[in-house]
Structure 1
Amino acid sequence: MANASPSPQTFSGSIAQLYEQYLVPLIFEPYAIDLARRIMALQPSAVLEIAAGTGVVTRKLAAQLPAQTPIIATDLSQPMLDHAQSIGTTRPVNWQQADAMRLPFDDGSFDVVVCQFGAMFFPDKAVAFTEARRVLRPGGTFLFNVWDRLEDNVFAECVTQAMAELFPADPPRFLARLPHGYFDDAVIADALLRGGFVGPIAFDTVTVQSVADSARTVAVAYCQGTPLRNEIEARDATILPRATDMAAEALQQRFGTGAITGKIQARVITATRED
């Protein structure tokens, strides 16, 4: 179904490895640093991370939070967690497979719940936000980020346009539909309100210049390290190399040869449990 969210299997196979190798340094690392800085300022005593992926935020938190502060890092995809665990952290972290829609934790267990670029994938945002609020202690903070619109993330926009040229009758729109499809403040605030967050909600825009050593690196990152790969291969199981080549050519035409730089932009949302 065109509007379906990715299943846990969507991030299986080589996608987890390519995600970590290419996408983490390309687009996720600077936002992990930003979230970790915000969490450190809160001085939490217990942290839950949902949709932890391959653990880029988890590693930042493990390196910066006191050793006595427990960190539980969860994801719906066991292959992503397995890859995160294979990388490791500087001190023990509790890794646990969990669905953000049905968190297996007691009420009021954490004073920070953090989610990096996962909220866009929740099938029912209000239900997931209700769960985040439930496991927070009164006065606790729910901190998450989402990608801004596609045109403010120029590498993803360029790759999406290249795929539209390759598949003009049925272009794969994963990047526009899911990662870059949940950025409207009013829509997010409404879901948080329905999830029980009745206090003030803060929205920040964080813009970064992403640097890659080549257009090819960006093409591999998006075409092979995200669920866009599944949409490409669903149209033609043999076409992934050609699709990657076309994306690389489009990126090179727009951004040049050698190392390339492009704007990426996200929204960072802070909500507090107020009883």
Structure 2
Amino acid sequence: MEHGLRFQLTGDAAERYDAHSHPLMAPFVAALADHVGEGDSVLDLACGTGYMTRAAAMRAGESGRVVGADVNQAMLDVATRRLPPTTTLVRAPADAIPLGGAEFDVVVCQQGIQFFPDLRAALMEVARVLRPGGRFAATAWAARERSPYHEAQGQAVRATAPGPNDESGPPAAFAMTREHFLSAAEAAGLVDSGVGEVAAEVVLPPLPGFAAAHLTALPFGAEIARRAPDAIPAIAQAITDGLSGYRTSEGVKVPFVSYLLTARKPV
């Protein structure tokens, strides 16, 4: 079995990811944080640079416990510098969590579950570390065409920088389906599983500067920048042009849609 995630960053790319992905993630972090209560013991799976870990720590409060786990050391290095001292970080893949059984009230996963190489194995680990009756909640992007920014980015990359991109880019980022999650959750022994949606309108930072910075903070964009750095400004301009219909008095305001995946460990 392959361990880990198909979303890996090295060097200063993790810092860029933390800085430039936040505007897109913030509404979905907030939606996921609603599943954490005061005093909860929380595991943030595939925590990355800690967006959700920070939100969980605020919700759980001083009486709670929050652990973030990720396989990517560069992301954890950034998270270490950003998180409050009350949180704990461990380096681990989702399908081999080095923690005891029945330790957590809640396991959350913000925009990471779609990259798990073996979703069933990861959810079996979720079931193992949850206490009886414990809750699981995750976000994962819906189909790319439902989020115009992602669609414009994908079209611009295909048109401007043809060639192989790594699996952390399209289509893997948008590969989660209702059926895949529900069948994996059932196989892992979780119950009351469901798939909802969270939709949010986001005012993007000024384009095309943001489009270029965000692209190079993603694994496939970093590879384009390495292979063909002159392509980045052209891609960023194409993204900007593709979103011209979303200009408002507030700026470029675009909708994003994410699945909200939930389940529970039986009592």
What CA distance in whole angstroms lies between the structure 2 residues aligned with 1:99 and 1:172?
19
Q: TM-score, normalised by structure 1?
A: 0.87
Question: Residues 42 and 56 of structure 2 are in contact (CA less than 8 Å); yes or no, is this contact kept in structure 1?
Answer: no
Number of aligned residues = 260
**What one-letter code is carried by the residue in structure 2 that aligns with 1:106?**
G
1:6 aligned residue: 6
| Residue 30 of structure 2, aligned match among 21, 28, 33 | 33
Residue 19 (structure 1) shift: 0.6
Q: What does 1:1-275 align with in structure 2 at a 5 Å threshold?
A: 6=6, 10-24=8-22, 26-40=23-37, 43=38, 45-89=40-84, 92-168=86-162, 170=164, 174-182=168-176, 184-197=177-190, 199-232=191-224, 237-240=226-229, 242-256=230-244, 259-275=251-267
Structure 1 unaligned runs (5+)?
none
Aligned alpha-carbon RMSD (Å): 2.1
Deviations 1:25-74 (A, max 9, x none): x211111111112212xx55311111111111111122232202111111
Question: Residues 113 and 143 of structure 1 are in contact (CA less than 8 Å); yes or no, is this contact kept in structure 2?
Answer: yes
Question: Residues 222 and 228 of structure 1 are in contact (CA less than 8 Å); yes or no, is this contact kept in structure 2?
Answer: no
Structure 2 unaligned runs (5+)?
none
What CA distance in whole angstroms lies between the structure 2 residues aligned with 1:35 and 1:53?
15
**What one-letter code is carried by the residue in structure 1 that aligns with 2:206?**
S
Q: More displaced, 249-258 or 118-127? A: 249-258
What CA distance in whole angstroms lies between the structure 1 residues aligned with 2:121 and 2:36?
23
Residue 223 (structure 1) shift: 1.9
What CA distance in whole angstroms lies between the structure 1 residues aligned with 2:19 and 2:215?
13
What CA distance in whole angstroms lies between the structure 2 residues aligned with 1:227 and 1:126?
25
* Identity percentage of aligned residues: 25
**What one-letter code is carried by the residue in structure 1 that aligns with 2:217?**
G
Question: Residues 98 and 104 of structure 1 are in contact (CA less than 8 Å); yes or no, is this contact kept in structure 2?
Answer: yes
What CA distance in whole angstroms lies between the structure 2 residues aligned with 1:215 and 1:196?
45
Question: Residues 215 and 259 of structure 1 are in contact (CA less than 8 Å); yes or no, is this contact kept in structure 2?
Answer: no
Question: Residues 160 and 172 of structure 1 are in contact (CA less than 8 Å); yes or no, is this contact kept in structure 2?
Answer: no
Question: Residues 23 and 221 of structure 1 are in contact (CA less than 8 Å); yes or no, is this contact kept in structure 2?
Answer: no
The SS at the match of 1:176 is: coil
Deviations 1:156-200 (A, max 9, x none): 111111111123465777432211111x21111011111121x22
Question: Residues 126 and 191 of structure 1 are in contact (CA less than 8 Å); yes or no, is this contact kept in structure 2?
Answer: yes
The SS at the match of 1:112 is: strand
What CA distance in whole angstroms lies between the structure 1 residues aligned with 2:77 and 2:133?
33
Distance 1:244 1:71, change over 3 A: same
